[in-house]
A and B are shown apart, each in its own frame.
Chain A
Amino acid sequence: GAVVSQHPSWVICKSGTSVKIECRSLDFQATTMFWYRQFPKQSLMLMATSNEGSKATYEQGVEKDKFLINHASLTLSTLTVTSAHPEDSSFYICSARGDNNYGYTFGSGTRLTVV
């Protein structure tokens, strides 16, 4: 089946630094990548949608300059949290969708803690 590899699984960083999270589709071409944020005991909150080779589309209220998304290839998308602050601490999850299927395949998530 479809597999999405997400790294790192957890990261601790200092306030003001930037953190990059990677998602790779291992056995299919991810024409669309979705990035979610999840707070404890809550549902998935869509942050942005990116199509390979295009600029990401951000959801209302999500700062595009703070959460930089790159989807330069059909197998790799990255989310960079710039100038991180403690309130950015959260669980970030990517999801990928190929061109010929309905379903989304999720990564394993990244626990970001900003101290």
Chain B
Amino acid sequence: GENVEQHPSTLSVQEGDSAVIKCTYSDSASNYFPWYKQELGKGPQLIIDIRSNVGEKKDQRIAVTLNKTAKHFSLHITETQPEDSAVYFCAAGGYGNNRLAFGKGNQVVVIP
């Protein structure tokens, strides 16, 4: 099955700087790669996703890039703000696959 690795496990950044989280996946058949943000005591919330037919997608301060050849995808947060502090999970899967495989999560701390 699919195996997703996520690095680093924790990331501290100064407010206003950029944060980058990287994930790798193992199954070349995966074609859907979402990112979730989880705040303390809450369920994960989808913040951005990308399908394998594109290499990059951007939504305001958040962007995701996908390298299918290398089987890795990254989340980029620019101009970080304290409210960006949370745990971020990447996942990989695909339509027709019944489940997503999740990374172990990344604790992002934005220092004011």
Interface residues of A (CB under 8 A from B): 6, 32, 34, 41-44, 46, 49, 91, 93, 102-109, 111
Closest chain B residue to A34, Cβ basis: B99
Q: Is B43 part of the binding interface, using a Cβ–Cβ cutoff of 8 Å? A: yes
Chain A residues lying within 8 Å of B107, measured Cβ to Cβ, are 41
What are 22 A-B residue pairs whose CB atoms fall within 8 Å in the complex?
A6-B43, A42-B104, A42-B105, A43-B89, A43-B102, A43-B103, A43-B105, A44-B102, A91-B41, A93-B43, A102-B32, A102-B34, A102-B51, A102-B94, A104-B34, A104-B46, A105-B46, A106-B43, A106-B44, A106-B45, A108-B42, A109-B42
* A52 and B105 alpha carbons, distance in the complex (Å): 29
Residues of B whose CB lies within 8 Å of any CB of A are: 32, 34, 36, 41-46, 49, 51, 89, 93-95, 98-100, 102-105, 107
Interface pair B98/A49, CB less than 8 Å apart: yes
CB of B1 to closest CB in A, whole Å: 11
Do A44 and B49 touch across chains, with their CB atoms under 8 A apart? no
Residue numbers in A under 8 Å from B102 (CB-CB):
43-44
